[in-house]
Structure 1
Amino acid sequence: MRAELLSRVLSLLPDPAHAERPELAAYHAMLRDYPVRGGKGIRSDLLLASARAHGVQPGPAWEGALWLAAALELFQNWVLIHDDIEDDSEERRGRPALHRLHGVPLAINAGDGLHAYMWAAVHRAGVPGAMEAFLEMIHRTAEGQHLDLGWVEAREWNLAERDYLDMVRLKTAYYTVVVPLQLGALAAGAAPHPDFLPAGLALGAAFQIRDDVLNLNGDPAKYGKEIGGDLLEGKRTLIVLHWLAHAPADQRDAFLAQMHRDRPDKDAGVIADIHRWLLESGSVAYAQAYADREAVTGLAALEGALADAANPQAAQDLLGAMRTLATRDY
């Protein structure tokens, strides 16, 4: 399925070999860069699992679901290009981020181009309600990103756990869980269950908190992003906010001093110390326990929403996939 979705994505994108100018060949290659690098495909897999649970079989409805999954892959890739620029990230999927290879202006332009091709895929799907779902997803994701970036820009650390949860539910939960579940139902011609929203918000929070944990102690070969990158980027995470509330004054002062610097100006030795302090504290375990509780809440709501699913076996497969997603080690 990953190969089929990539083929659909690339079928929408211009082929560098057919460009009339070398500059445009370079642009077309940039459009393909992140999609070809691959990815976990978590969101498109969830969309297709939801479609199967709602009774979609091979045929026109399945074709529509596949085009929506391709559109979701395009969304993920253009958002990642912009996100890497906004976070001043070094790597994406084991290689230098696109703006590190080509510069910020060209990378922004490539992201804008992929955004347009995303809508082409939504159009190809021909699924009623899909455009509105994508618009909702983009609006909520942008709001969450604004909270995240705004706190970084303002050097704001006077935040509570509730602030973090508001941010991740907007930034992560809608496009990772809520909308993929809804799009799967729409592909089947069904009205999305209203409990997809609370289920997806809880599961999305669990997913993001787990990602924050992996950013500190994950396996680099599996994780695909630089370990400790959140510290260098000054990310507000549940782990850090919990730690700040309990850290010794000298460690807290050292942390805040580093977080008031831009990434290139941070002291690598002090950041390494902070990384170690976080791992040695109980804050990682606290965050993981919080994620586990959110996962239990979300899975219970999702199980109820799928109780009358058209394809019960596919619904059970979907629930199993969500359990894995919320507790993943990659």
Structure 2
Amino acid sequence: MVPAPEAIRQALQERLLARLDHPDPLYRDLLQDYPRRGGKMLRGLLTVYSALAHGAPLEAGLEAATALELFQNWVLVHDDIEDGSEERRGRPALHRLHPMPLALNAGDAMHAEMWGLLAEGLARGLFPPEVLLEFHEVVRRTAYGQHLDLLWTLGGTFDLRPEDYFRMVAHKAAYYTAVAPLRLGALLAGKTPPAAYEEGGLRLGTAFQIVDDVLNLEGGEAYGKERAGDLYEGKRTLILLRFLEEAPPEERARALALLALPREAKPEAEVGWLLERLLASRALAWAKAEAKRLQAEGLALLEAAFQDLPGKEALDHLRGLLAALVERRA
């Protein structure tokens, strides 16, 4: 019997908190803060069900999934600091609750625990060495994507096209969100991941990020960060780039003047104006259509690679979760 998603979420939560336990209460609270806030743990669930679908043991899938959730949490701590974010999962970002150096150090500690967990899994025979190499690929790709994102923001760069966005997101979010869980499942079962896992996973992961950008503008329960935070942070989203391409010269100039300001200097009324313009623009509908297109292409590529997997019950869960990446219904 394959465990249900809620049982896996609970198991991952318990493993995360146990891994981040410490006798110093303040240090423990810093490390456990983001994991305690919950979240859907989609990446962890994808990893477990991918492992089971490929025929790997549940314990191996859970340990690899815990490591990937550790990655997610330490990256979020660092990302929030680098972006100057206000909220994460419905509460103030960690560096808003504690001095920034303490939050940064907590992220470093979670990063170390990720590698420690993986090394122990290798020593216990749970993982082949290729699993550690896959995590290295996850870290290096995500770091480069973050480099591009920060470089554009710090340099005031807006002469970008949708292709630039797709390249940045493929590295920063799409690989670790969808590609890595699929590849890890195959590697845990001693199999070579097919090329379709990267080709299809990148499409699904990019669609996931586009939907995240949409939710940042529209708000709602499916989004756990500050509404319009991307505008305050000057994020070069697909929606914004398309809007700037099509906007009348006076609106483009007004938007660029606002986006060039540091977060603390952006007038709330002007951010509200740009938010309204984006919500009313053709760019929003176009971005949603792009997400749907990428989702359909990604699922089709992956379905062709799933035909011979042995774990049919787990595969059904995996299919549902991959669709939920874009539909946000898991």
Amino acid in the other structure paired with 1:102: H
Cα displacement (A) at 1:109? 0.6
Q: Structure 1 CA distance, aligned partners of 2:93 and 2:196? A: 37
User: What TM-score, normalized by structure 1, do the two folds share?
Assistant: 0.93
2:49 and 2:185 in contact (8 A); partners too: yes
Unpaired runs of at least 5, structure 1: 20-24
User: What TM-score, normalized by structure 2, do the two folds share?
Assistant: 0.93
**Residues 104 and 305 from structure 1, CA distance in 2 versus in 1: closer, same or farther, beyond 3 angstroms?**
same
1:11-26 counterparts in 2 under 5 A?
11-15=18-22, 18-19=23-24, 25-26=25-26
- Aligned residue in 2 for 1:92: 88
The percent of aligned pairs where both chains have the same amino acid is: 49
1:218 and 1:329 in contact (8 A); partners too: no
- Aligned residue in 2 for 1:153: 154
Cα displacement (A) at 1:329? 6.3
CA deviation vs aligned residue, 1:163-190 (integer Å, no higher than 9, x gap): 0000000101111001111111122222
CA deviation vs aligned residue, 1:240-275 (integer Å, no higher than 9, x gap): 111101112221111100111110011110110000
| 1:250 maps to 2:257 | no
- Aligned residue in 2 for 1:276: 276
- Aligned residue in 2 for 1:27: 27
1:48-197 counterparts in 2 under 5 A?
48-56=48-56, 61-126=57-122, 127-128=127-128, 129-197=130-198
How big is the alpha-carbon RMSD for the aligned residues of Structure 1 and Structure 2? 1.3
Cα displacement (A) at 1:323? 1.5
1:208-287 counterparts in 2 under 5 A?
208-219=209-220, 221-287=221-287
| 1:292 maps to 2:292 | yes
2:50 and 2:315 in contact (8 A); partners too: yes
Amino acid in the other structure paired with 1:294: L
CA deviation vs aligned residue, 1:120-176 (integer Å, no higher than 9, x gap): 221233311110000000000000000000000000000011000000001011110
Q: Structure 1 CA distance, aligned partners of 2:213 and 2:50? A: 26
Counterpart secondary structure, 2:64: helix
2:12 and 2:65 in contact (8 A); partners too: yes
Unpaired runs of at least 5, structure 2: 1-7
**Residues 185 and 306 from structure 1, CA distance in 2 versus in 1: closer, same or farther, beyond 3 angstroms?**
same
2:78 and 2:104 in contact (8 A); partners too: yes
Task: Answer with 227-236 or 124-133: which moved more.
Answer: 124-133
Q: Structure 1 CA distance, aligned partners of 2:51 and 2:171? A: 23
Runs of 4+ deviating beyond 3 Å: none
Q: Structure 1 CA distance, aligned partners of 2:153 and 2:314? A: 42
Q: 1:2 aligns with which of 2, 5, 9?
A: 9
- Aligned residue in 1 for 2:3: none
Q: Structure 1 CA distance, aligned partners of 2:300 and 2:96? A: 43
